[in-house]
């Protein structure tokens, strides 16, 4: 089942639980706008290269649409559509005043030079600049993009509309980025993990963790877990995977990755097959890379008792069912990774106010938001006797449905 079919299925299940009117259900499912643009750039050797870029704007009932831009070879319209829809429910779960959107360009950023990436980002921004905006649609980084990508988008957008720092979030601090945004998704994952384990009478320091992906989200998540004594026993990225049953020295692994751009040849752990990470012996599995990595082929072999969905849509519905039957507790993406968009909201607020918060305030507010939504989800689980995923979906969908009804339908 592809990402869009799976996301639609979860949405429909939530709509049924909530008893939503069928017309409203249909209207919430269809994206507000789907943008597809062709982006041709000259490569460094003078040849031309063409790429397809997407921005799917799913819903704006609760505020400007919000979501990252992904650079990855497997970006396709259905996946971006699913990710945009997830952003709508995620913003609502986090109770921040946004709708949802997502964008992407089908490219391999590892095969493009910095100047080629800059040209591609600028051409993409030229093609969508009149459809995004501070109160319309606010992009941010996702897989394969970072604060530099946002700096280029900001610069290109500002050529058309004047200096507009709040048009993107996840920017470099010197261009109006927020302290704490770089680490925010990982810190949010940490707070979410702490909340879930605490609820089950456990703590991070007594658990063993396996983490898939060692980019922005994976690396920060590993660091926060390691800092409080959690044992990270396996880590993977696209270059390989490493394991150590006694716990990996995460600061040393971060240094190794920074110097070599790879996990290979790290001295403090043994190499393992990248595909074994998901089924590695651990208490808590944290996917922090691609979607669909937990599927019907591997779900039965998962050893973890808890799965924290730091990646977007890492679990196929078939896997969801198999894992639930095994008693595995899954903390869903639209809550677990909402720390990123929450601090993006703080960044946007700071840009609009023209006032910068200190990092302590950012992190302290983030913790409050993460705790509040955890309790709101638990309340929905109790009210509807459902899983954490359905608790989060019903919470998000209900808030968006309510906002839509309040706005009314008059043309």
Ligand X SMILES: O=C(O)CCC(=O)C(=O)O
Report in angstroms how near the CB of residue 314 gets to ligand NDP at its nearest: 7
The binding track of 232-271 with respect to ligand NDP, each residue x by CB under 6 A or -, is ----xxxx--------------------------------
Contact code string over 320-349 relative to ligand X, x by CB under 6 A = -----------------x--xx--x-----
Q: Which of 147, 149, 193, 216 binds ligand NDP (CB under 6 A)?
A: 216
Q: Does 357 bind ligand NDP (CB under 6 A)?
A: no
Task: Rule CB under 6 A: say whether 91 interacts with ligand NDP.
Answer: no
Residue 211 in contact with ligand X, rule: CB under 6 A: no
Q: How far is the CB of 269 from ligand X (least distance, A)?
A: 29
Q: Is 344 among the annotated ligand-binding positions? A: yes
User: Which one of residues 68, 104, 144, 176 is an interface residue with ligand X (CB under 6 A)?
Assistant: 68
Among 167, 289, 331, 395, binds ligand NDP (CB under 6 A): 289
Residue 147, interface with ligand NDP (CB under 6 A)?
Answer: no
33-42 and 65-72 strand pairing: unpaired
The verdict on whether 255 is a catalytic residue reads: no
Question: 């959690």: which residue's tokens?
Answer: 230
Q: Does 373 bind ligand X (CB under 6 A)?
A: no
| Interatomic CA distance for residues 70 and 113, integer angstroms | 17
Interaction of residue 121 with ligand NDP, rule CB under 6 A: no
Distance CA 340, CA 311 (A): 11
Cα angle, residue 311 at apex, residues 306 and 316 outer, rounded to 5°: 70
Category of 125 on φ-ψ map: left (φ > 0), alpha (ψ -120 to 50) or beta: alpha
Quote the CA–CA distance of 72 and 292 in Å, as a whole number. Answer: 15
Question: Which partner in ligand NDP, ligand X, none is near 67 (CB below 5 to 8 A by kind)?
Answer: ligand X
User: Could you say whether residue 143 binds ligand NDP (CB under 6 A)?
Assistant: yes
Measured distance CA(309)–CA(362) in Å, rounded: 23
Cβ of residue 77: shortest distance to ligand NDP, in angstroms? 16
3-state helix, strand, coil in the chain (%, to 5): 50, 20, 30
Judged by CB under 6 A, the residue of 53, 99, 340, 391 near ligand NDP is 340
Long-range contacts of the stretch 169-176 (C-beta < 8 A, 24+): 169/138, 169/139, 169/140, 169/344, 169/345, 169/347, 169/348, 170/68, 170/140, 170/141, 170/146, 170/340, 170/344, 170/347, 171/147, 171/347, 172/147, 172/148, 175/150, 175/151, 176/347, 176/350, 176/351
Least gap, CB of 312 to ligand NDP (angstroms): 4
> Is the distance from CB of 103 to CB of 141 less than 8 angstroms?
no
171 counts as binding ligand X under rule CB under 6 A: no
Tell me the torsion sign for CA atoms 355, 356, 362, 366.
positive
57 binds ligand X, rule: CB under 6 A: no
Which residue among 23, 26, 36, 102 is the active-site one?
102
Spatial separation of the C-alpha atoms in residues 286 and 264, rounded to whole Å: 20
Nearest CB to ligand X, comparing residues 90 and 226: 90
**Residue 147 in contact with ligand X, rule: CB under 6 A:** no
A 10 A CB-CB count for 114 gives 10
Q: Which residue in the set 60, 85, 145, 169 belongs to the binding site for ligand X (CB under 6 A)?
A: 169
Strand ranges, E, within 112-246:
137-141, 208-212, 231-237, 240-243
Question: Starting from the edge strand earliest in sequence, which strands make up the sheet with 329-331, in order?
Answer: 270-272, 240-243, 231-237, 208-212, 284-287, 306-308, 329-331
* 51 or 71: CB nearest ligand NDP: 71
216 is in an annotated binding site: yes
Q: Which partner, ligand X, ligand NDP, none, binds residue 176 by CB below 5 to 8 Å per kind?
A: none
Binding site for ligand NDP (CB under 6 A): 141-144, 185, 212-218, 236-239, 274, 288-290, 310-312, 337, 340
Catalytic residue numbers read 102
Binding site for substrate: which residues? 66, 90, 344
Binding site for ligand X (CB under 6 A): 66-68, 90, 140, 142, 169-170, 312, 337, 340-341, 344
Binding site: which residues? 66, 90, 185, 216, 344
């Amino acid at each position: 089942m592809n990402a869009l079919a799976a996301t639609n299925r979860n949405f429909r299940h939530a709509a049924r639980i909530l008893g939503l009117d069928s017309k409203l259900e249909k209207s919430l499912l269809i994206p507000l706008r789907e943008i597809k643009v062709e982006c041709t750039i000259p490569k460094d050797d003078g040849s031309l290269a063409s790429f397809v870029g997407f921005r799917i704007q799913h819903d704006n009932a609760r505020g400007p649409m919000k979501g990252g831009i992904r650079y990855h070879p497997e970006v396709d319209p259905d996946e971006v559509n699913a990710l945009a829809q997830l952003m709508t429910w995620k913003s609502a779960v986090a109770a921040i005043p946004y709708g949802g959107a997502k964008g992407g360009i089908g490219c391999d950023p590892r095969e493009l030079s910095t100047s080629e990436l800059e040209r591609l980002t600028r051409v993409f921004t030229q093609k969508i600049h009149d459809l995004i905006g501070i109160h319309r649609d606010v992009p941010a980084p996702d897989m394969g993009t970072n604060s530099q990508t946002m700096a280029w988008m900001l610069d290109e957008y500002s050529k058309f509309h004047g200096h507009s720092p709040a048009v993107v979030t996840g920017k470099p601090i010197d261009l109006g980025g927020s302290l704490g945004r770089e680490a925010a998704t990982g810190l949010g994952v940490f707070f979410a993990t702490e909340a879930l384990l605490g609820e089950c009478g456990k703590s991070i320091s007594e658990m063993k963790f396996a983490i898939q992906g060692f980019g922005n989200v994976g690396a920060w998540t590993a660091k926060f877990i390691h800092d409080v004594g959690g044992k990270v026993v396996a880590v993977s990225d696209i270059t390989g995977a490493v394991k150590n049953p006694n716990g990996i020295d995460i600061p040393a692994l971060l240094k190794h990755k920074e110097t070599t751009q790879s996990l290979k040849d790290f001295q403090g752990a043994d190499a393992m097959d990248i595909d074994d990470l998901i089924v590695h012996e651990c208490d808590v599995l944290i996917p922090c890379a691609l979607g669909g990595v937990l599927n019907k082929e591997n779900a039965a072999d998962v050893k973890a008792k808890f799965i924290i969905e730091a990646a977007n849509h890492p679990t196929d519905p078939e896997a969801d069912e198999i894992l639930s039957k095994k008693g595995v507790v899954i903390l869903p993406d639209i809550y677990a990774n909402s720390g990123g968009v929450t601090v993006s909201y703080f960044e946007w607020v700071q840009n609009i106010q023209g006032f910068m918060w200190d990092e302590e305030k950012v992190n302290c507010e983030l913790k409050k938001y993460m705790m509040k939504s955890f309790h709101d989800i638990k309340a929905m689980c109790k009210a509807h006797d459902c899983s954490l995923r359905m608790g989060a979906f019903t919470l998000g969908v209900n808030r968006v449905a309510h906002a839509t009804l309040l706005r009314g339908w008059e043309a």
